[in-house]
Amino acid sequence: MHFLKLILRNTLRHTLRTGLTVLGLVVAILAFGLLRTVVDAWYSGAESASSTRLVTRNAISLVFPLPINYQERIRRIEGVTAVSHASWFGGVYVTEKNFFPQFAVDAKTYFDLYPEYLISPDEMKAFGADRKGCMIGRKVANTYGFKIGDTVPLRGTIYSGAWSFTVRAIYDGAEAGTDTSQFFFHWDYLNETIKKAASRRTDHVGVYVIEISDADRAAEISTEVDAMFRNSLAETLTETEKAFQLGFVSMTEAIVVAIRIVSFVVIFIILAVMANTMAMTARERIREYAMLKALGFGPRFLAGLIYGESLAIALTGAAVGILLTFPVADKFSKQVGTLFPVFGVSVETVYMQAAAAIAVGIAAAVLPALRAARVPIVEGLRSIG
C-alpha cells in the first residue's frame, strides 16, 4: 500500500509535466483508435459476408453486364438453393458528395438471400406493389432524413435522365455490422425504362447472387458456374461474397496500408515523448535513488517505482483516450454520412489501444530503470539532478 502511495506521489510531483504527457497520450490513443476504426470500416463488408453466398460477375470486368437468361441456368446447378441479381445504378442525389450505393434488384428473390436485412412485412408488401418504389437502409434514412412516402430524386449517370422513387420500406440490420447504407429499387422498372430508349443494356444485369446449401462446396460450385458459360459472349467469374468484397478493398489497398502505418507512427511518437518524460524524471531523482539504496532498498524496488510511475501515466492517458474514442467516432461517422457503411469502435480496437499504452509505459521506463538500478551510491549522492 505504501509502495502505491509512493508511486502516486511521484507521479503528481510535477503536475504540469505529468499533465502534458497525459494529454499527449490521450491524443495519441484517440488518434490510434480512430485510424484503426477506419481500417475496420474498410473491411466491414468482407467481414460480414456470408459463407453460403457466391457472386457471379462478368469475367472481363464488373463494368460489363451479364444476360438475364443466365439466372435459370445457374438455378439448375446442384447445390444452388436460390439465385437473384443486382445492377449498380450510380445515381446522384442532389450533389456528388451525397453518396450511397444504389442497386436495381429482383424484389421477389433478392431479399430472401439476405436474412440480416430486417424488413417490416407491411413495408415489404408496399415496396413490392410499387414499381417506382424503393427500399432504403436505416443509415440512409437517418443521414438524409428520408421517411416512408418521401420522394427521392436521382440524376442518372450510368443510366442517364432524371429518376424519381418513392420510399416504401426502410430496413434495419440484424447485427451492428450489417450494412444499412444501401438503396434498392425494382430492376423491372429500370429494364422497362431503358427499353423505351432502345438501349443495348436491356435484359442484362450486373451480378448474380447465388445461395448455396453447403459452404464447403463454394469452390466446386463456382467452378461449375464458370464452366457453364465458358466460350460464351459473356464469360463469368464466380467467387465467394467475401472474396468479391475484398476485390473492392484491394483497389484502395495502398490507402489502407498508409493508414495502418500512420496509426503505428502515432504510437512511436508518443513513445518518444513518454521516454523523454521518464528520462527527465529519473535524472532529477538520482540522488533520491542513491539514498534509498543506502537505506537498503534494492534495484528491484527502484525499478518498480519507475515502472509504476510510467505505467500510471500511460494507463491514465489510455483510459481517457479510449473513453473519448467512442463519442468522437460517433461524431465522425455522422460527418461522413454513408461513406462508411459500418463505422464503430470494435472490442479489438480497444484492446489494441490498451496494449499500445502498456507497451509505451513499459518501454519508456526501461532505460531510466536501468540507470537508477546501476548508479553507484556515492556517485548518486553527489548528483545535483
Which DSSP string corresponds to 6-23? HHHHHHTTTHHHHHHHHH
pLDDT tens figures, 292-333 = 777 777 778 877 888 888 888 889 999 999 999 999 988 888
pLDDT of 117 strictly over 60: yes
What is the percent of the chain with per-residue pLDDT over 90, rounded to a whole number? 43
Q: Which residue has the higher pLDDT, 200 or 158?
A: 158
Q: Which residue has the higher pLDDT, 281 or 313?
A: 313
Q: Give dist(CA 199, CA 87) in Å, integer.
A: 15
Q: H helices within the chain, ranges in order? A: 2-11, 15-42, 44-47, 70-75, 121-129, 138-144, 187-196, 218-228, 241-251, 253-284, 286-294, 299-336, 347-374, 377-382
Predicted local distance difference test score (pLDDT) of residue 1? 60
pLDDT tens figures, 237-280 = 999 998 888 877 776 677 778 888 888 888 888 888 888 888 77
Residue the block writes with cell 447472387: 209
Q: Give dist(CA 249, CA 38) in Å, integer.
A: 13
C-alpha distances out from residue 81 to 55, 76, 164, 215, Å = 14, 9, 34, 12
Predicted local distance difference test score (pLDDT) of residue 96? 83
Three-state secondary-structure class, residue 137: strand
pLDDT tens figures, 172-226 = 998 878 889 999 999 999 999 888 776 677 889 999 999 999 999 999 999 999 9
Q: Give dist(CA 64, CA 237) in Å, integer.
A: 12
Predicted local distance difference test score (pLDDT) of residue 72? 93
C-alpha distances out from residue 191 to 68, 86, 129, 275, Å = 11, 12, 17, 65
Q: Are 99 and 338 in contact (CB under 8 A)?
A: yes
Query: β-strand 236-240 against 53-58: which pairing, if any?
Result: antiparallel
Grid cell locating 248: 473492392
Region 354-365: mean pLDDT is: 88
Predicted local distance difference test score (pLDDT) of residue 198? 63
Q: Which residue has the higher pLDDT, 269 or 121?
A: 121
Other beta carbons within 10 Å of 110? 21
Amino acid present at 110: Y
Other beta carbons within 10 Å of 63? 10
Report DSSP state, residue 52. Answer: T
How does 178-211 read in b/e, with b if 16+ C-beta sit within 10 Å?
bbbbbbbbbbebbbebbeeeeeeebebbbbbbbb
How confident is the prediction for the chain on average, in pLDDT? 86
Predicted local distance difference test score (pLDDT) of residue 226? 94
C-alpha distances out from residue 187 to 89, 250, 263, 314, Å = 10, 29, 43, 56
Q: Which residue has the higher pLDDT, 270 or 134?
A: 134
Grid cell locating 10: 511521484
Predicted local distance difference test score (pLDDT) of residue 345? 85
The lowest-confidence range among 5-9, 248-252, 261-265, 368-372 is 248-252
